[in-house]
Chain A
Amino acid sequence: MRGDVREVLTHWLGADVRVVEGLSDEALEELRDVLVAARERQATAIRAASAEALRQMPPVLRGTVSKILGR
């Protein structure tokens, strides 16, 4: 397994990275790509949902709630 791929997969899978070691290098790269894409998709969905939540808040609360959400 290539070092950069192992680094990403270890972040995701921890010690269980060994369960995917049987995959080819090409498959491991595909796995890394789908995991990174999943993270991006989730971040986009949460950003959109948070923006919608803020839009529904009374304007006076938006600043505080925005800070709480870390936006």
Chain B
Amino acid sequence: MGHDLATKAELVKLARALGTTAEEIAFAAELPHSAIRRLRENAVATLYDEHKAAFQRVAMITRVLPTAVNVRITLRAFTPLLAARVAGELPPDRAAELANRMPVEFLAEACVHLDPRRAGALVHRVRPDRVVAVVVELVERGDFITLGRLLDTATEQIVRDVTATVATEALLQIGFYAESDEQLTRAVALLPPERLHATVRDALTGPPELRSAGLALVGRVNDEALRGRLAEYAAEEDDETLTKLLHTAIDDGALEELLLAVSVMSEQAQRRVLTLPALTEPHILGHLVRAVEKHDLFSRLAPVVALMDPDLRRRVAVAAERGPNLR
């Protein structure tokens, strides 16, 4: 059986944090995604604290040297890994002063190794144009895991600049690995309407991983009005596209996300999705009914049921009678 999208994202992040493969940490899939996250956060903290004393000593030396000399030494002698670890032990102002003089490629590589507990204070002090340049570099490298982590540190202006610069596909991938639902919601809310619309369209018409990222996004956004806008844009797509989305949701164990989206659509959009030919298939209805039961979505979806024509309502009832533990 597949894992839900949050668990998938957490497993990828855990493997990255431990420098290993998804296969090596497959055993963790038995845990809830919140537990995998706690495991990762603790493991990362232990790893970063392990060599802290040595990096603190290096940081002490760099404090007494002029910035230009530090930059020269860093670029000549330090790998991005060492530079990031020392930066984590410097006062954020000092670390930002150095970062503002480093090449973007070096900073992008260093970001991968930056202590997540220290990243926010540092990133807030780096020049916004430099931060955006680093984000663009990380997008080009396809490092969406690091970008998802860094999203938490992004100011409103940086989010605006990045969303105006980066492709919608990349925004979806970054969102998939975002750490905080609140920050993800704030970032999505800052997208101009046409950009938000394009993001939804690209999620639905792109490859399966983008549909998965789109489903994860609509599930994680914690503002119902914003979720409603996303869902409304989705409902504009044709039958084929929406049917693919439905199948992806079933494959990904993401029917809760899909049904939440339907529950916040306008009545007109709900009527439109109820005309999907796929809803005549008993096994599809079975999946949907079981998801409603599992996630206790009866009251949220009651208005949608009221919009069903008698034939569809009868089919739903049959699917409910067939499934295990259905009311």
Contacts and interface: CB of A to CB of B under 8 A. Distances in A.
A20 interface: yes
A38 interface: yes
Interface stretch (B42-50, B191-199, B223-231, B232-240): B42-50
Contacts of A30: 24, 27
Interface in A4-33: 11-14, 16, 19-20, 22-24, 26-27, 30-31
Contact of B19 (A27, A42, A53): A42
- Residue among B17, B34, B54 facing the most chain A CB atoms (10 A cut-off): B54
B132 to A, nearest CB: 28
Given A19-B38, A19-B39, A53 B82 contact: yes
Interface in B101-160: none
Contact of B50 (A14, A39, A69): A39
A34 B25 contact: yes
Main secondary structure of the interface of B (DSSP, over half): helix
A19 B24 contact: no
B46 A11 contact: yes
Contacts of A42: 19, 47, 50-51
Contacts of A19: 31, 34-35, 38-39
A1 interface: no
B13 to A, nearest CB: 13
Contacts of B82: 46, 49-50, 53
Q: Give chain A's interface residue range (CB within 8 Å of chain B).
A: 20 to 34
B39 A34 contact: no
Interface string B30-73: 11001100110011001100110110011001000000000000
A68 interface: yes
B50 to A, nearest CB: 7
B19 A52 contact: no
Interface string A33-60: 0110111011101100110111011000
14 contacts: A16-B42, A22-B35, A23-B28, A30-B24, A35-B18, A38-B18, A38-B19, A39-B46, A42-B51, A46-B85, A49-B78, A52-B77, A56-B76, A68-B57
